[in-house]
Structure 1
Amino acid sequence: MTAALHPPHPSSPVLRLRLAPQGDVPRSIDGAWWPRSYDLLAELPSLLAGLPRTWGHITSVTVNGALWPTTPGRMLVSNEVVRVCRNLATSARHTIVLLAPGQGRWDLLVVPPDTTEEAAGPLMAAAAGTTPEG
């Protein structure tokens, strides 16, 4: 009997997320997320899965409709419904707002997917309040 060889499953790409250290002082931006595409249906599940468990269950996400061409009203992520809202305010063009009832609100800078690695690193570090390497 011969064993069939199956090609290895492609590994999931590493989530490109930098969060600000937790502190007692509220921040206007809590970190940065650098998605790989403008496809929110593909990108949002990996973002939500990569968030700290202490943030609780994110039930609502607000994104800028100009940045994300397709925005569903709701998504099923890890067997939980997540409400997705569109905002067209120019002041929030590159942010995503995450809400968890009873836990809090987090605002992340969204680094556009087509940003070069050289440009994205410093942007993410500045949003997280850290150095580019740490």
Structure 2
Amino acid sequence: MTTNLDRTGPRDLAAKLPARLSLTPKTTLAGRLDGAWWPYSRDLETELPALAAALDETWGRVTRVTVNPARWPVVPHTVAVAGRTMHVGWFTEQDPDKLILLSYTVGRWDLLVIPPETEPAAAARLMAAAAIPGSVLTAGVLMANEAAIGRGTRDAQRQEAGWEDEGGACMSPFGNSMSRTALPLPGNGRR
């Protein structure tokens, strides 16, 4: 399979924008994640320099990054970051919704990666949840929970639209629409 990346518009834009990060506050509570990152695109070569620059001040110099290639169309071996080279590796066993950052001097950090196309409200929920100190939730669990919340929201909106479209629709106890003639009301021929 061949993947083409358009590197004209979004690359220039993403390079100028600050990294969207939410980091766990420094506490003695160790959790599964150290925060969340919401990139602007799926182009690691464009996105990683801004992430590294944002983390250099807080965490120290990031020397290596690992990802699962399922979420990234192209995984470069190295990325130029502020006059140095950052190595990028990939592992299919790694959670596809997680990015691992390594530093020779400071250690390892695990970040939830929020897909670039995520709605802002969902991204805000995910960023807040990933930054809770001591949380035992993994990146995959957080993404699954958000998908369930999003699906629940869409289902509720669809049911409400159905209600409005049918002039106050009759619903079965199982959430299915029913015609008014199915109800045991006087005049429907049912008792």
42, 53, 71: which one aligns with 2:46: 42
Kindly indicate whether the alpha-carbon contact (under 8 Å) linking 2:18 and 2:50 is maintained by their aligned counterparts in 1: no
Residue 22 (structure 1) aligns with? 26
Provide the rounded CA distance (Å) in 2 between the counterparts of 1:76 and 1:15: 16
Provide the rounded CA distance (Å) in 2 between the counterparts of 1:54 and 1:125: 18
Partner amino acid, structure 1, of 2:101: L
Residue 100 (structure 2) aligns with? 97
Residue 111 (structure 2) aligns with? 108
Residue 63 (structure 1) aligns with? 67
Residue 77 (structure 2) aligns with? 73
- Deviation at residue 108 of structure 1 after TM alignment: 0.2
Q: Which has the higher helix share?
A: 2
Residue 87 (structure 2) aligns with? 83
Residue 123 (structure 1) aligns with? 126
Q: Cα–Cα, structure 1 residues 15 and 96, in superposed 2: closer, same or farther, change >3 Å?
A: same
Identity %: 44
Provide the rounded CA distance (Å) in 2 between the counterparts of 1:24 and 1:55: 16
Cα RMSD over matched residues?
1.8
Unaligned regions of 5+ residues in structure 1, if any?
1-9
Provide the rounded CA distance (Å) in 1 between the counterparts of 2:29 and 2:104: 20
Q: Cα–Cα, structure 1 residues 30 and 92, in superposed 2: closer, same or farther, change >3 Å?
A: same
Q: Which has the higher strand share?
A: 1
Provide the rounded CA distance (Å) in 2 between the counterparts of 1:73 and 1:123: 28
Q: Per the alignment, in what secondary structure is the counterpart of residue 128 of structure 2? A: helix
TM-score (norm 1): 0.83
- Deviation at residue 54 of structure 1 after TM alignment: 4.3
Residue 16 (structure 2) aligns with? 12
Partner amino acid, structure 2, of 1:110: V
Q: Per the alignment, in what secondary structure is the counterpart of residue 89 of structure 2? A: strand
- Deviation at residue 102 of structure 1 after TM alignment: 2.4
Provide the rounded CA distance (Å) in 2 between the counterparts of 1:87 and 1:12: 29
Q: Cα–Cα, structure 1 residues 52 and 27, in superposed 2: closer, same or farther, change >3 Å?
A: farther
Larger Rg: 2
TM-score (norm 2): 0.59
Residue 33 (structure 1) aligns with? 37
Unaligned regions of 5+ residues in structure 2, if any?
1-12, 134-191
- Deviation at residue 87 of structure 1 after TM alignment: 1.4
Kindly indicate whether the alpha-carbon contact (under 8 Å) linking 2:100 and 2:110 is maintained by their aligned counterparts in 1: yes
